[in-house]
Amino acid sequence: MLMRIVLKSIMIFLFLLLYSLIALSIMALPAGRVRKRARLTRNVMFFARLGLHVLGIRMFSRLQKRKGIRPRAVNYLIIANHLSYTDILIVGALMPSVFITSVELKHTFPLGMLAWLGGSIFVERRSPAGLKQEISEIEQVLAEGTSVALFPEGTTSDGDTVRPFKNSLISAAISSGSSLLPVCIRYTMVNGRPVGTHNRDQVYYYGGTTFFEHLPRLLKLKTIEVECIVLRPISTHQHHSRKDLATKAHALISAAYHRLPSGSHRATGAIRGTTDEHR
């Protein structure tokens, strides 16, 4: 177990070093803002998939309605439930996207640095004055054709339920005409055993636990299995209220999260570190 932690730590260091060097190179290129952002999001997607492999996370992804989802042709405001910092790798592996995160995370090493290198948008929800400008920035990114990813619970949870969604930032999707893409994340197995109250804290990151307190727990694990269910898009043209949109997205994600992993809920494919979305 100690050897596994050491080997994973070395791999993570090399992974972060390469990710940072490439991101800094992209930022230094004499290119426009939109082109730089596109390259940064593709860099995030590549390293998110690689990161899943390094951590031994096997992601099963399923599109609930393939016909209406075109991740390469259409951009979305991606809405997902939040259980751990590994959720960022899971959502990041789906499609190129810019993440919305808190200003608190910006000052948390190394997560804040990694988010900045990925082109993340940092928001302060408690500041009404700054929120308007941040919504405008999100709207601009969406209008330029880039998907944006948001964890609207505002924090992680212990997995008992999906917390209520904060809806203020969803107004950016309405003003830009972008659809919401609800995504349900469910961790199902840890070292071959179903996730429950006895082992969830090895993966779930919540409460007063610090990042460096939790990371060794994660690195001890040999395998983690997670379902990523991409639900049907929600058109903002049919819902003009951000509250209605948040309620609809929450209902879809919560229903998928609490559904038992029966035959109708099985993933259609799984590759460690990647997804089956384009097969």
- Mean pLDDT of the region 148-158: 96
May I ask the CATH architecture of the domain 2-261?
3-Layer(aba) Sandwich (3.40)
Integer Cα distance of 177 and 188 in angstroms:
35
pLDDT of residue 249: 98
Q: Which residues in 109-211 belong to E strands, given as ranges?
A: 121-123, 147-150, 179-190, 193-194
Longest CA span, the chain: 54
Domain-wise residue ranges, the chain: 2-261
Integer Cα distance of 92 and 46 in angstroms:
8
What is the tens place of the pLDDT at every residue in 162-184? 999 999 999 999 999 999 999 99
Q: Which residues in the chain belong to E strands, given as ranges?
A: 57-63, 76-80, 97-102, 121-123, 147-150, 179-190, 193-194, 224-230, 269-272
* 185 three-state secondary structure: strand
Integer Cα distance of 236 and 218 in angstroms:
38
How crowded is the C-beta side of 217, counted as CA atoms within 13 Å? 16
Identify the helix (H) or strand (E) that includes residue 114. Answer: helix 111-117
Does the pLDDT of residue 235 top 50, yes or no? yes
Residues sharing a CB contact under 8 Å with residue 2, sequence separation 6 or more, in sequence order: none
What is the tens place of the pLDDT at every residue in 57-83? 999 988 876 555 655 568 999 999 999
pLDDT of residue 279: 34
- Mean pLDDT of the region 38-51: 97
- Mean pLDDT of the region 31-40: 94
| Strand partners for 178 | none
pLDDT of residue 71: 56
pLDDT of residue 135: 94
pLDDT of residue 127: 75
Average pLDDT over the chain, rounded to whole? 89
Least confident of 67-71, 224-228, 234-238: 67-71
Least confident of 21-30, 56-65, 198-207: 56-65
In the chain, the percentage of residues whose pLDDT exceeds 90 is 76
Integer Cα distance of 108 and 29 in angstroms:
27
pLDDT of residue 269: 41
Choice between 160 and 277, residue whose per-residue pLDDT is larger: 160
pLDDT of residue 50: 97
